[in-house]
C-alpha cells in the first residue's frame, strides 16, 4: 500500500482556533477520500503560532532554528499541502506570509495545495482568490479549484458541528485535493538537488 504524506499549515493564533478547526476538517475530508482509494496517509500539522519567534529570528539572523527547519522540510517534502490562515486586514496573516517567505520559491513546484481561510465576516472570503491563490501561483504550486472560507456564522451549534453549506465545501475541496495528490507521481528521494544561490556564487568565486 502506497503511503502519501500530507502536511497542513495552520496560522491560527489562539488555542483552540477556528483556523485549526477548519484545518482539521479539511485534513479529515482528504484522508477519508484517500482511504477510499486504499492509500495509507501520513499526516503532520504545522502550528505557526508555536514557531512565531523562530520565524522572526530567521529574518534577523538568516538561519532557521532546528524546529523551524523541520517544519519547512515537512512542507517541501509533502505530497500535498493544506494551508489555512485567519484573515487580518483583508489578507492573510503576517505570520502565514512570513513562513512561506522562508520557503525556496521552487520547492513547492507542482505540489498540490488546498487553501483555506477563516474570518469574522463572509465579506472577507475574496481573500482566497485575491491573496492566497496569487501567493501559491508565485510558488508554482498546483492549487485545487475549490478553496474554503469559513466565517464565524458558518460554525453552527444546532446539533451539527457547522452549518449547512460549509461541510459540502469542505468535502468537495477535500475530494479534489485528495484526487490531485493521488494522481501526482510519488516524490522520489533521488529528485534533483536544489543548490542554494549563495552556494552557486561561492562555487563561481572558487573557479
Q: From first to last of its 207 residues, what are the pLDDT tens digits of the chain?
A: 789 999 999 999 988 899 999 999 999 999 999 999 999 999 999 999 999 999 999 999 999 999 999 999 999 999 999 999 999 988 999 999 999 999 999 999 999 999 999 998 888 899 999 999 999 999 999 999 999 999 988 876 433 544 458 999 999 999 999 999 999 876 544 344 555 656 555 666 555
CB 99 within 8 A of CB 9: yes
DSSP 135-176: HHHHTT-EE-S--EEEEGGGS--SSSSS-TTHHHHHHHHHHH
CB neighbour list of residue 136: distance below 8 Å, 6 or more residues apart: 83, 108, 113, 115, 143
How many Å apart are CA 12 and CA 151, to the nearest integer? 14
CB 66 within 8 A of CB 50: no
Q: Where are the domains of the chain?
A: 3-206
How large is the C-alpha radius of gyration of the chain? 18
Residue of 104, 100, 132, 136 whose CA lies nearest to 116? 132
For the domain made up of 3-206, the CATH class stated in words is: alpha beta
Question: What is the H or E stretch that residue 112 is in?
Answer: strand 112-119
pTM of the model: 0.85
In order of 27, 142, 176, 192, 201, the CA distances from 188 in angstroms are: 23, 18, 23, 9, 27
For cell 492549487, the residue is: 143
Write phi, then psi, for 52 (nearest 5 degrees): -60, -45
Residue of 111, 131, 124 whose CA lies nearest to 187? 111
Amino acid at each position: 500500500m502506497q503511503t502519501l504524506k500530507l502536511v497542513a499549515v495552520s496560522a491560527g493564533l489562539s488555542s483552540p482556533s477556528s483556523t485549526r478547526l477548519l484545518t482539521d476538517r479539511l485534513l479529515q475530508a482528504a484522508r477519508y477520500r484517500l482511504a477510499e482509494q486504499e492509500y495509507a496517509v501520513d499526516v503532520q500539522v504545522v502550528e505557526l503560532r508555536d514557531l512565531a519567534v523562530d520565524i522572526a529570528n530567521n529574518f534577523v539572523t538568516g538561519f532557521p532554528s532546528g524546529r523551524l527547519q523541520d517544519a519547512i522540510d515537512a512542507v517541501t517534502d509533502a505530497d500535498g499541502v493544506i494551508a489555512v490562515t485567519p484573515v487580518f486586514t483583508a489578507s492573510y496573516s503576517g505570520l502565514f506570509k512570513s513562513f512561506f517567505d522562508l520557503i525556496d520559491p521552487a520547492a513547492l513546484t507542482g505540489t498540490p495545495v488546498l487553501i483555506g481561510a477563516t474570518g469574522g465576516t463572509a465579506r472577507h472570503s475574496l481573500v482566497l482568490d485575491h491573496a492566497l491563490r496569487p501567493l501559491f501561483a508565485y510558488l508554482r504550486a498546483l492549487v485545487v479549484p475549490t478553496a474554503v472560507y469559513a466565517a464565524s456564522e458558518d460554525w453552527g451549534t444546532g446539533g451539527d458541528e457547522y452549518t449547512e453549506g460549509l461541510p459540502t465545501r469542505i468535502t468537495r475541496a477535500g475530494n479534489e485535493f485528495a484526487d490531485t495528490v493521488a494522481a501526482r507521481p510519488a516524490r522520489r528521494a533521488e529528485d534533483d538537488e536544489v543548490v542554494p544561490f549563495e552556494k552557486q556564487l561561492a562555487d563561481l568565486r572558487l573557479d
